[in-house]
Structure 1
Amino acid sequence: MDISRVINFICIVAGGAIAVYAQAEQKQNSYLLIGGIIILMFGIYRTSRNIPSKYGKQEEETFVKSEHIDEN
């Protein structure tokens, strides 16, 4: 497993665990919850950067054909 994937996985798990822990207490710590969500979203963002686009090649192809106009 690549080190980048391990870092992403750790960020997602740690951020989720911190967010759940902050919500589970009687007196909720808002700063801890926000920090957990930030770490979680950072891990998700890093993971989504490496997923290729489904529509990447369709942008190059168009259904509209253009004709070259000779000006004589």
Structure 2
Amino acid sequence: MNLSRTLNFLCILVGGLVAFYAQAQQNQNAYILIGGIALLIFGVYRTSRNIPSKLDNEDETFLKTEKEDEV
């Protein structure tokens, strides 16, 4: 696993744990909760940037191959 994926995973894990810890306390600290959620969202955003879109490769769509097969 490369460094970027490890960093993303750690951001998600630490952010989730911090947000869960801040939510579980009886006297909730809003700043810690916001920081944990922000770290969690940052990790999810960085992870989603590396996932390719379905629409990037339009040559391999079902409709285009179906039209080619019928002709």
Interval of TM-score (by shorter of Structure 1 and Structure 2): 0.7 to 0.9
CA distance in structure 1 between the aligned counterparts of 2:57 and 2:6, rounded to whole angstroms: 30
The sequence identity of aligned pairs, in percent, is 61
| Unaligned segments of structure 2, at least 5 residues | 59-63, 65-71
TM-score scaled by length of structure 1: 0.78
How far the C-alpha of 1:57 sits from its partner, in A, is: 2.6
Count of aligned pairs between the two proteins: 60
Cα-Cα RMSD:
1.5
Q: How does 1:1-72 map to 2 (within 5 A)?
A: 1-58=1-58
> Over residues 30-50 of structure 1, what are the superposed CA-to-partner deviations in whole Å (9 max), with x where a residue is unaligned?
000000000000000000000
TM-score scaled by length of structure 2: 0.79
Structure with greater helix share of residues: 2
Counterpart in the other structure of 2:69:
none
CA distance in structure 2 between the aligned counterparts of 1:31 and 1:24, rounded to whole angstroms: 14
Counterpart in the other structure of 1:69:
none
Please list every run of at least 4 consecutive aligned residues from structure 1 whose deviation after the TM superposition is greater than 3 angstroms. Answer: none
| Unaligned segments of structure 1, at least 5 residues | 64-72
